[in-house]
Structure 1
Amino acid sequence: MGVFQSMPSLGRRSLVELGPRIARLHWPLILVLTGLAGAGVLTLYSVSLGDMDEYAKTHLIRYFIGAGGLFIVAMIPLRVWLSLAYPLYAAGIVLLLMVPVFGEVVNGSQRWIAIGGFRLQPSEMMKIALVMALARYYHGLEFERVSTISGLLAPLGMIAVPVGLVFIQPDLGTALLIGFSGVAMILLAGLSWRYILVGVFAAFFGIAGGIQTGLVKAYQWERVTAFLDPTYDPLGANFHANQSKIAIGSGGVEGKGMLEGTQSQLGFLPEKHTDFIFTIFGEEFGLRGALLLLGAYLAVFLLTVHVARSARSHFGRLMSLGIGVTLVLYVLVNTGMVMGLAPVVGVPLPLVSYGGTVMLAMMGGFGLVLSTWIDRDQDTLRTRGWKTDRLIHP
């Protein structure tokens, strides 16, 4: 008792404030996130032919570290994250600028920075930082300016800089995800559909120009060609995609059972522990298992939307929606890729694929969602001109 009384008043007040915040945590969301990480542990155990130490154990440890980070982020008041949004975005840009100088080259791409015994992928952290920064920007912007040229210049620039820095690594898949997440934030802020149509045409001509000028590499364009024509180069560019579809189809409704997947266990698939992990899951647990896994992702998204609907803060609701949309984009691109519905790009399945930075980034992002939930009743944050309740409250 004497020790507690000797603590500074600020420390005592912090402890008093911590209790109610813990009580207000959104436990259903935490439970579903834990279930997804558990699915990753099971699949990675199978990928390693029953060896827990190769991937599964590390994945589990990373989840517990990420869960600790999620808890810490959730305990920090939303107003603090509002003030840190721009600094965190700037830090992410600095890290991306460091990649060409200090980054490690793995499989022909320079995407990682070694910090001690940990390899950090700044592009994954940038996805969350960009969502925060755009939410902060629109938090202070009058709704009437959302669909004006002056109101669009800053967010487009904020999106273009990290997209360009990631594209030159080269990492087309992550660059596209960052770009899509940023554009989704602009749409959620209430951008007029006229600008959306103009943007679609601009993107089409931009891609065509990139192909003509050589900005899009030959192997990247070959992936698009392979996607459009499944019979193209079946033993080369289309080999992995075809093997993935065979594996998922062979799982049927029930699946072949854990450790029983032939396509995966016999080495027909590359990057089984990262990009193609959904293929392994589909082959071994079948259609039922795949639908259950996708249902868990849908549950996370719907819970995130629920958090956004409940928030009185413009910053909190827009940031929460942005993180939910980012998760959906991850899942759609990854599962579409392995099922032949999208070109093959290097995009992991969040919380299931093996990868430290992706795990920490996503858990940190959902920590922000939980912070929004805890402070959902607060209306003390500045909310000038927020007139887009129709986007969340139909």
Structure 2
Amino acid sequence: MRAVRTSPAVPVTRGKKPEKISIAHRLRRSDLLLFLTALALGGIGVLAIYSAEADYRQLYAVNQGLGLAAGFTGAVVLALLDYRWLGRHLRFVYGVTVVMLVAVLVAGFSVNGAQSWIGIGPFEVQPSEFAKPLSIVVLAGYVAANSFAHNMTFLKALGIITVPVLLVLAQPDLGTAMVFGAIFVAVVFVGGARWYQLAGIFAAGCVAVFIAIEFKILEDYQIARLTSFLDPQSVPGVSYQVENSKMAIGSGGLMGKGLRSSGTLGDLGYLPEDRTDFIFSNLAEKVGFVGSLVVLILFFLLVWRVLHAATISRDRFGVLIAVGVATMLTFHALINVGMAMGMMPVTGLPLPFVSYGRSNLLVSMMSVGLVQSIVIQARLKSEGNPRT
């Protein structure tokens, strides 16, 4: 795995050395709207979690608030660093990714049927969440340094993403594995993959899904989620969750029942996982169509600014990282909202920035920080700064 080619070094000249770029100067070159949008979604998440929990509401909300603060701090730190450093250490990044995913299989513990969590001191961490942006970096670095004119390039890129996918499926976590698949398709497509290469992976994916269902490679509850989406009456338990979710969304009406309202489906215990998987349903019931639309608009703005970073990046590595992050956030949001509305199968994917869970919140915020690094480096370079 070759390191990403970076811009030629600045010629050494006699005389005064270039002045060091201050932290304040770098931050002024960041995308303020991107930061504000991410913080707004995170703040909405804290409010939604507080309104969803009848018991321990303050504990969950405070935990999420602390996660938001830690995530934003990490995002600022990443924004100030040069993302191209990662491109020079792809083997190390990939090694960390694989080791994390293996460690959770060896020493992790299960939550809701998936061994996806591992204890680190007083904290509970979900390594598969952190593996997503790390895999984006590795895949983007490899694709940026190679050409898809050779089929071997495509096969090696597929191999890079297959290892974390198989380790995630072993937990088993089908939803997260699907996120890796979406990231792979987006990055190689923008990276210049040929149409027949993409068609081949699509056909192979269809065959793999058929085999997994036909030969019961997937867990029973995973098959139940897929079949209940195709035939809601086939699995009453799963369809019950989705039907109640749709009822909660519809009962919110135009303006909602209010964040502090009582007697909602969530308060009465009819809305499952109303602070995680089905938090959008909880929000829609409390803030109505208008509030839900605001949340969706914020997601649109966020993804737009991430893709804008791809358009101003001065190298392929930055472009592909931004595309990968945009795909990760978009896929999560589409699946989660679609799941709440009964338009997608129940996969357990959280709504970025909003659903309860510090691992996903940290990863979402720090991914924004990585994109901010691309923006800052591009803007500094456009100013002709010799230190970029």
Give TM-score, length-normalised by structure 2: 0.90
Cα distance in 2 between the residues matched to 1:300 and 1:237: 31
Q: In the alignment, which of 55, 58, 82 is matched to residue 53 of structure 1?
A: 58
Residue 237 of structure 1 aligns to a residue in which SS? helix
| Structure 2 letter corresponding to 1:306 | H
Describe the shift of the 1:16–1:147 C-alpha distance in structure 2 as closer, same or farther (beyond 3 A). closer
Residue 262 of structure 1 aligns to a residue in which SS? coil
Q: In the alignment, which of 28, 31, 42 is matched to residue 26 of structure 1?
A: 31
1:264 aligns with 2:266: yes
Cα distance in 2 between the residues matched to 1:263 and 1:147: 55
Cα shift readout 1:308-329 (whole Å, capped 9, x = no counterpart): 1111111111101110111000
Cα distance in 1 between the residues matched to 2:43 and 2:159: 38
Please provide the CA RMSD for this pair. 2.0
- Are the equivalent residues in 2 in contact too, given 1:259–1:265 (CA < 8 A)? no
TM superposition shift of 1:52: 4.9
Cα distance in 2 between the residues matched to 1:299 and 1:168: 35
Q: 1:184 matched to which residue of 2?
A: 186
Q: 1:246 matched to which residue of 2?
A: 247
Describe the shift of the 1:133–1:214 C-alpha distance in structure 2 as closer, same or farther (beyond 3 A). same
Cα distance in 1 between the residues matched to 2:284 and 2:157: 39
Cα distance in 2 between the residues matched to 1:212 and 1:44: 39
- Are the equivalent residues in 1 in contact too, given 2:245–2:281 (CA < 8 A)? yes
Cα distance in 1 between the residues matched to 2:20 and 2:353: 31
Describe the shift of the 1:359–1:84 C-alpha distance in structure 2 as closer, same or farther (beyond 3 A). farther
TM superposition shift of 1:293: 0.3
Matches within 5 A, 1:192-231: 192-231=194-233
Cα shift readout 1:262-298 (whole Å, capped 9, x = no counterpart): 1111011221111110010011111111111011000
| Structure 2 letter corresponding to 1:46 | S
Q: In the alignment, which of 70, 81, 85 is matched to residue 80 of structure 1?
A: 85
Matches within 5 A, 1:130-209: 130-141=135-146, 145-209=147-211
**Which ranges of structure 1 fall in alignment gaps of 5 or more residues?**
1-12, 381-394
| Structure 2 letter corresponding to 1:121 | Q
1:96 aligns with 2:62: no
Task: Give the aligned length.
Answer: 365
Cα shift readout 1:49-90 (whole Å, capped 9, x = no counterpart): 396522111111111111110011011113213223442222
- Are the equivalent residues in 1 in contact too, given 2:48–2:279 (CA < 8 A)? yes
Cα distance in 2 between the residues matched to 1:17 and 1:77: 14
Cα distance in 2 between the residues matched to 1:206 and 1:155: 18
Cα distance in 1 between the residues matched to 2:334 and 2:284: 15
TM superposition shift of 1:173: 0.7
Cα distance in 2 between the residues matched to 1:357 and 1:321: 21
TM superposition shift of 1:14: 9.5
- Which segment is superposed worse, 46-55 or 208-217? 46-55
- Are the equivalent residues in 2 in contact too, given 1:59–1:355 (CA < 8 A)? yes
Q: In the alignment, which of 367, 370, 373 is matched to residue 371 of structure 1?
A: 373
Q: In the alignment, which of 278, 292, 295 is matched to residue 293 of structure 1?
A: 295
Give TM-score, length-normalised by structure 1: 0.88
Cα distance in 1 between the residues matched to 2:19 and 2:141: 26
**Which ranges of structure 2 fall in alignment gaps of 5 or more residues?**
1-17
- Which segment is superposed worse, 215-224 or 336-345? 215-224
1:109 aligns with 2:122: no
